[in-house]
Structure 1
Amino acid sequence: MNKEFLEEYSLFRKFNLSVPQTMDRIPTPAINMVCRNCGNLQTFNMTNRYAEFQKYSNPSSADEKVRLIYLCQSCRQFTRQFDVYISPELDYVYKFGQYPEWEIKMDKNLESILGKHAKTFRKGLVCESQGYGIGAFSYYRRITEQIIDELLDSITDLVEEVNKVAYKIALEKTKQTRVTQDKIDLVKDLLPSILKPNGMNPLGVLHSELSEGLHAETDQACLENASHVKSILTFLINQIIQSKESAKGFTDSMKSLLEKKSKK
């Protein structure tokens, strides 16, 4: 199985994975999740076998449902259970059950920035946790539409000097359209490098996800798009806050240093 899948994926969201042909060869990775007994993040190890309900120890993995029980390695009492379906072609898995339920938690910075819109975002999280992709995408898309102007405005101070004038011109043009994708399209190529991890442009991806999501026909497709939109919004808001705080800290330090020198 896969650590990221177990820790982060909601119910019914497909995770592409090359699953071994027999259950005895499926990995049992340690995971890091919150233990409700310990009250913090702990390491969990799998305690049962994938083939526990089978006659043999190495039955076929294809088109099977398996149970994974994970035990906290600190208190040795609290457990987490995952019920997972393995595809017939052994190319993907998804959870059809989980206990305790998938945590509906909201990033603190995101909640603070969203303010009155946080309630809508939480509704998206609830839909995502239950595998309702169309509902989750609709809520996340609505949030994006509601905050896009503020988000693009807040990026202005981070834009490199060489692109600052062009960004401000593009920003003015965004005020002339109500279509979120059009707004993003106007400024995405002027995004500062500090907001482009490994050269990837989150606004470009956001533009693509919002456009594709409109035409997605299944809950599964919408669930993928919804998760991406949520991740991008969370990244952008956190990175903008951190960058501005870092810049302010540097400016304050320099001012303090210069003041000390001027007094000598």
Structure 2
Amino acid sequence: MIDKEFIEEYSLFRKYKSEGISKNLQDWKKTPINMTCNVCKSLQTFNLSNDFYYEGSSQKIFANNRVLNLKYICQSCKNFNRHFYVYVNENVNEFYKVGQFPEWEIKMDKNLEKTLNKHSPTFRKGLVCESQGYGIGAFAYYRRITEEIIDELLDSISELIEEEHKSEYLIALEKAKKTRVTQEKIDIVKDLLPTILKPNGMNPLGVLHSELSEGLHASTDEACLENANHIKSILTFLINQIIQSKESAKSFTSSMKSLLEKKSAK
């Protein structure tokens, strides 16, 4: 069966890989998805309203080398449909959206848009390229964004560094500002990233460094599309996590200050 993440999030012509899927379409289960309904004006559950295979067929219908027409209907209003055309390769382990209506939504994370400010138009151009499967173009735009905001991003991270490592980070930060090469900047500070910015021990700056380096040598739209998507995800995570951490710290400080003032007033 086709994964809901693929249907909900993947742009056109971005490769989705999955193993162990039956070639017989009659074995595929219908997986509901969650997307915005333009009638309900909210996030809703959509169910597949047609079959992967021809109704009434007693013969096995194989998925390989087929373009499947998937029609999803909103379970709330029963009026709004989403259509997807999905190509399945010979081995039934690679899938591509080759068509979608309504079109893939070009939307920016709110925190990201606010933080990027004047750089937002460039990021949107990356989203447009990504939506059309233009990986080389998407990578170029996301790379440019990274280059333009990297100093501000690293400055923001300094406020989250643990006290015992802060002086070490600030020294590395000053060194990073002396080079104009983004990968070098990241390489200098990536190992000093605070724990709060390393989910499950994974270092987003380390991955970002790798993606920027590998993307330079990627020669196809397909390869660049994957690199571009990773860069977008990392930037979104870092910016959101930094904002949330600062807001949490501010809220905690305010609460403690209020509590201490009440105690001292007694």
Q: Is TM more than 0.5 here?
A: yes
Once residues 90 and 56 of structure 1 are traced to their aligned partners in structure 2, the CA distance between those partners, rounded to angstroms, is 21
Once residues 197 and 62 of structure 2 are traced to their aligned partners in structure 1, the CA distance between those partners, rounded to angstroms, is 45
Unaligned runs of at least 5 residues, structure 2: none
Contact 1:10 1:129 in 2 (8 A): yes
Once residues 53 and 117 of structure 1 are traced to their aligned partners in structure 2, the CA distance between those partners, rounded to angstroms, is 50
Matches within 5 A, 1:76-115: 76-115=78-117
Does 2:54 align with 1:52?
yes
Once residues 4 and 127 of structure 2 are traced to their aligned partners in structure 1, the CA distance between those partners, rounded to angstroms, is 21
- What SS does the aligned partner of 2:106 have? coil
Letter in 1 for 2:231: V
Does 2:243 align with 1:234?
no
Residue 146 (structure 1) aligned to one of 145, 148, 153: 148
Matches within 5 A, 1:136-215: 136-215=138-217
Letter in 2 for 1:107: D
- What SS does the aligned partner of 2:68 have? strand
Once residues 17 and 226 of structure 1 are traced to their aligned partners in structure 2, the CA distance between those partners, rounded to angstroms, is 20
Q: CA deviation at 1:57?
A: 5.3
Once residues 28 and 94 of structure 1 are traced to their aligned partners in structure 2, the CA distance between those partners, rounded to angstroms, is 18
Letter in 2 for 1:100: P
Partner in structure 2 of residue 4 of structure 1: 5
Once residues 234 and 159 of structure 1 are traced to their aligned partners in structure 2, the CA distance between those partners, rounded to angstroms, is 19
Partner in structure 2 of residue 123 of structure 1: 125
Runs of 4+ residues deviating >3 angstroms:
52-57
Partner in structure 1 of residue 18 of structure 2: 17
- What SS does the aligned partner of 1:215 have? coil
- What SS does the aligned partner of 2:200 have? helix
Partner in structure 1 of residue 263 of structure 2: 261
Unaligned runs of at least 5 residues, structure 1: none
Once residues 243 and 69 of structure 2 are traced to their aligned partners in structure 1, the CA distance between those partners, rounded to angstroms, is 41
Q: CA deviation at 1:163?
A: 1.3
Once residues 97 and 149 of structure 1 are traced to their aligned partners in structure 2, the CA distance between those partners, rounded to angstroms, is 39
Once residues 5 and 25 of structure 1 are traced to their aligned partners in structure 2, the CA distance between those partners, rounded to angstroms, is 19
Contact 1:23 1:57 in 2 (8 A): no
Once residues 54 and 232 of structure 1 are traced to their aligned partners in structure 2, the CA distance between those partners, rounded to angstroms, is 47
Q: How many residues align?
A: 264
Does 2:227 align with 1:251?
no
Computed over aligned residues only, the root mean square deviation of the Cα atoms, in angstroms, reads 1.2
Q: CA deviation at 1:14?
A: 0.4
- What SS does the aligned partner of 2:138 have? helix
Contact 1:2 1:27 in 2 (8 A): no
Identity of aligned residues (%): 66
Letter in 2 for 1:139: Y
Measured against aligned partners, the alpha-carbon deviations of 1:140-167 in whole angstroms (never above 9, x if no partner) come to 0000000000000000110112211110
TM-score, normalization by structure 1: 0.98
Residue 225 (structure 1) aligned to one of 224, 227, 231: 227
Measured against aligned partners, the alpha-carbon deviations of 1:13-67 in whole angstroms (never above 9, x if no partner) come to 0000123111111232100000000000000000101123996553111111101
Which one is further off, 98-107 or 14-23?
14-23
| Residues 56 and 177 of structure 1: CA distance in aligned 2, closer, same or farther (over 3 Å) | farther
Contact 1:62 1:87 in 2 (8 A): yes
